Structures are given as C-alpha cells and as structure tokens.
C-alpha cells in the first residue's frame, strides 16, 4: 500500500484510491472525511492511525467486507451512518475517548453480535451487547444478541435498525420511551413485549418488521394495550402496529400510518365497521392481500393506503369516503374491479395509476375533478363513463403509457379536458363527455376515439371541428 493511495489535506483524509484489502490509514491523519471509503466492498479490514480524532458521516458506508472494527483511543466523534450497510460487521469496540456517536452509525449492519465500550469511558457504556448513554440511560445501539438492561429508560431511533436474524425483544419495566423507527426493518423480530412503564412510542417505531407474530403490552400500561396481535393507543382507539396474523378489534376507529406496511405475508384482513380513517400507507406493499372491503364508516383513505397491493383483485370502497389520497390504490397491478363511491368530489393524483388489469370505470356524478395520472397506465381500460358534473380532467389523467411515482402534480379548476388526458389508452374507443365541459384540448383524446355527448354541447362542436366521430345521446 502506497502513500499515494491517499489524498490528505491538512490532516483530513479526503479520498482513497487504493486496491482495498487490509487498509492501513497513514500516520498524521486526524479526521476521515465524508464518504471516503463508501461502497468499497473490497476492503476487508481497517487499521486506524494514532492521533485520529473524528470519523465523518458515511465514511465507511457499504464496506461489506469489514467484519471487525476497533476504534482507537483518541477518537472523540463518529458521524451519522459512518458504518451504514457494513453487512458483515460482527464486532465493534469503542474507546474511552468517544463522546459523540451520530444517528444510525450501524444502520443495516444486521450481523453485529458484540458491542463493547471501554470501562473508562465517561459518556457511554456497554451492557447486554447494547451501547448506552450513561447519563440518560438511553439505548443508542443494539443488535440481534442484545438483552436490554433493566436500567434503560429510552430506546433511541434506529437503535435496532435492520436486525434480520431471528430475535425476541423483551423491553424491561422502566423503559418510558421508544423513539421513532427504533426497530425499523427488523424482519427477524418475532415477538415484542411492552411494559407498563412505556408512555411514548414514536412514529413507525416497528416499521417493516415483516416477521412480527406476537405483540404483547402489559395490562397495567395506561396509554397502550394489545388486542388481536395489534398495538393500540387506548385513548384514540388507533391501531399503531399490526402483523400478518392480526385480528383488528371491533372498537378501532383509526388504522394508523404504515400500521401494516410491507407485511408481505398478510393474505386476508377484515376492517371492522366503525373504522373512520385508514391513514397514509397503512397497507402499502402488502403484496399477498387479495380482497378488501372498506366499511361504510370509513371517511378517509390516506395517501398510498393500499398502494402496491399487487394481489388485490376486487375492492369495495365505503359510500361515505370523502377523501381519497394520492396513490391510494396505485400499482395494484391485478385489480380488476373498483367501485368509486358517490361521496367523492375528486379522484386524486395517481389514485389508481398502474392498475393494469382495470377494464372499466364508472365515475359517479359527484366527482368534479379527475386529477393528473389518476388512471395512468391502466392499459386494459375499455370503458370509462365520465360524470355530468365534471369540471376538469387534468393532463394525463388516463395516460395509458408506462407510469412511475415521480410525476409532478399540477392542479386546475377550469371546466376542461386537458392535453393528453387519454393519451395511450389504445383499448378505450368511446368516451362520454357531459355538457358541463366547456373546454377540450386538441390533444386530449388521441386517435381512434368516439365521443358520446348531448345535442348542442361543446363536446359536439369540438368533435365536428376536429373530425372526431361522435354520437348524440
């Protein structure tokens, strides 16, 4: 290894151009800059120099060949995500000098089994294969072999990020707070037990725990309880986290944000009468969920609530739904039937985009706006009934071309059918246009379409002027 493999400026290692293997960082380096070794899967070990003070954000992210890390004495800080996605990392030793540890430094390092801190460290300590902030008793980093000590009061965000190996977690009595995304992507987590002392569970604390089978909350907990293998906030009757064998209790009012997201083994679920809100991405990416009945009590379906549910074939939507979020049923690639309730006044952006097997749509008279890409990439559409009270069909609303989730949103309140509204819908040959539409762009329909309309309407005049076949109803 040559000194020319390293670009060093004023003691900061800015770049590494070497061949990998066992890397020895040269003497005189006091800091490793951001992303210096990022993605270098060919690095198998790292020897740090004396005098090193800091390791910056993402410095070793994606170095999957490294299995052991010993942080040398003198290092005081390690930046956020410094060792992110080092998937073969098994053991880490921290020195007495370390005083600052960034968020998610071992994110996606799912094979760590041994975490230790020098006994002389005044800020942190290790116990039960956990790294803990001594003053606050906050668990900062855990691993698959962790046993949470009884003195822990708080479990920090991303502390158990991406623990994929089989694990059961007992949260001891005394823990008061579980921060947002503390157990995110722990696909190996099978059981979780929450004591009576927990008063605050952060946003998506158990997000993407796809292997979760049992959720238990102490009967003495004053804020949360468990029922039907669901984690529930008692006062609001909100289901916070579910799993593939959950049975949603009848008293639930709200299915919370991402409650079942990525529960890929969920095949069947009953949403009970009484639920009023299904929040953002509640069932997103439940790829084996086949059918869903949304009861009449539901008023709100949030953004992406059932997006990417690729096994859904039939959906019944509550007649009282007044808010249908963007991407609500997007990319349900096997969805053949959907009833759109007459309680809606707008079909939102990309609501049914990517539903490639949807063959026909009846838009109720209550709907006044069909937003951009609402039915994009619905290649099988052969019949669309447009309501009498329509004000605007936005650009690309029925765009039959391949779609993605990255389109910009453009709103409009002009009574019109905008350019390319039906572009690419090759199987759609007839379109009924109400007499309420007062403007149609010349590029709205594409080729080989017949317009059905009422006598004397703007649509009739438009068809005549543009040599488009039309039928008076």
pLDDT at residue 205 tops 50: yes
User: How many C-beta atoms surround the C-beta of residue 222 within 10 A?
Assistant: 12
pTM over 0.85: no
List the chain domain ranges. Answer: 1-109, 120-226
Say if 1-109 and 120-226 have the same CATH topology: yes
The more confidently predicted of residues 350 and 420 is: 350
Across all residues in the chain, what is the average pLDDT?
A: 87
Which of 55-69, 184-198, 289-303, 362-376 holds the top average pLDDT? Answer: 55-69
pLDDT, tens only, 94-109: 999 999 999 889 988 8
Q: What local confidence, expressed as pLDDT, does residue 420 receive?
A: 58
Query: Cα(213)–Cα(215) distance, rounded to whole angstroms?
Result: 7
How long, in residues, is the chain?
473
Query: Cα(350)–Cα(384) distance, rounded to whole angstroms?
Result: 16
Strands 360-362 and 200-201: unpaired
| Mean pLDDT confidence for 18-25 | 94
**Above pLDDT 70, what percent of the chain?**
90
Q: What local confidence, expressed as pLDDT, does residue 472 receive?
A: 82
Q: What local confidence, expressed as pLDDT, does residue 426 receive?
A: 65
Q: What local confidence, expressed as pLDDT, does residue 405 receive?
A: 35
Query: Cα(135)–Cα(457) distance, rounded to whole angstroms?
Result: 75
pLDDT at residue 69 tops 70: yes
pLDDT, tens only, 73-126: 999 999 999 999 999 999 999 999 999 999 889 988 888 999 999 999 999 999
Mean pLDDT check: name the lowest of 33-42, 47-56, 203-212, 233-242. Answer: 203-212
Query: Cα(156)–Cα(96) distance, rounded to whole angstroms?
Result: 21
pLDDT at residue 463 tops 60: yes
Q: What local confidence, expressed as pLDDT, does residue 317 receive?
A: 85
Dihedrals φ, ψ of 4, to 5°?
Answer: -70, -10
Query: Cα(344)–Cα(419) distance, rounded to whole angstroms?
Result: 24
- What CATH number was assigned to the domain covering residues 1-109? 3.80.10.10
- What CATH number was assigned to the domain covering residues 120-226? 3.80.10.10
Query: Cα(106)–Cα(159) distance, rounded to whole angstroms?
Result: 8
């Amino acid at each position: 290894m040559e000194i020319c493999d390293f670009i060093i400026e004023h003691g900061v290692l800015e770049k590494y151009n070497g061949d990998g293997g066992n890397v020895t960082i040269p003497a005189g380096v006091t800091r490793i800059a951001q992303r210096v070794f990022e993605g270098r899967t060919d690095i198998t070990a790292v020897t740090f120099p004396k005098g090193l003070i800091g390791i910056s954000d993402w410095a070793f992210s994606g170095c999957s060949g490294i299995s052991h890390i010993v942080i040398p004495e003198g290092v005081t800080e390690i930046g956020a995500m410094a060792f992110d996605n080092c998937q073969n990392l098994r053991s880490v030793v921290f020195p007495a000098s370390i005083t600052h540890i960034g968020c998610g430094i071992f994110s996606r390092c799912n094979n760590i089994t041994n975490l230790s801190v020098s006994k002389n460290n005044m800020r942190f300590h290790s116990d039960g294969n956990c790294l803990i902030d001594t003053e606050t008793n906050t668990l900062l980093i855990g691993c698959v072999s962790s046993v949470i000590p009884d003195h822990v009061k708080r479990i920090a965000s991303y502390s158990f990020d991406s623990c994929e190996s089989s694990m059961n977690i007992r949260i001891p009595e005394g823990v008061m707070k579980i921060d947002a995304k503390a157990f995110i992507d722990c696909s190996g987590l099978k059981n979780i037990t929450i004591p009576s002392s927990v008063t605050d569970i952060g946003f998506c604390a158990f997000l993407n725990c796809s292997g979760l089978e049992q959720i238990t909350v102490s009967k003495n907990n004053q804020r949360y309880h468990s029922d039907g293998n669901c984690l529930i906030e008692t006062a609001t009757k909100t289901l916070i986290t579910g799993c593939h064998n959950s049975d949603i209790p009848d008293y639930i009012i709200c299915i919370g944000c991402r409650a079942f997201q990525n529960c890929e083994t969920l095949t069947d679920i009953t949403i009970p009468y009484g639920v009023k809100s299904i929040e953002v991405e509640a069932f997103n990416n439940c790829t084996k969920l086949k059918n869903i009945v949304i009861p009449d009590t539901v008023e709100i379906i949030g953004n992406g609530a059932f997006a990417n549910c690729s096994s859904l074939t039939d959906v019944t939507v509550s007649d009282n739904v007044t808010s249908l979020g963007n991407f609500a049923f997007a990319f349900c690639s096997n969805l053949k039937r959907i009833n759109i309730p007459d309680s809606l006044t707008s079909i939102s952006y990309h609501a049914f985009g990517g539903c490639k097997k949807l063959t026909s749509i009846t838009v109720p008279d209550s709907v006044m706006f069909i937003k951009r890409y609402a039915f994009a990439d619905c290649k099988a559409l052969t019949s669309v009934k447009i309501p009498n009270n329509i004000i605007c069909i936005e650009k690309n609303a029925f765009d039959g071309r391949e779609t993605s989730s990255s389109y910009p949103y453009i709103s409009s309140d002009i009574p019109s059918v905008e350019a390319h509204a039906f572009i690419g819908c090759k199987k759609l040959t007839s379109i009924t246009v109400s007499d309420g539409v007062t403007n149609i762009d010349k590029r709205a329909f594409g080729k080989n379409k017949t317009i059905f309309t009422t006598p004397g309407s703007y649509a009739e005049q438009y068809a005549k002027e543009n040599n488009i076949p039309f039928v008076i109803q």
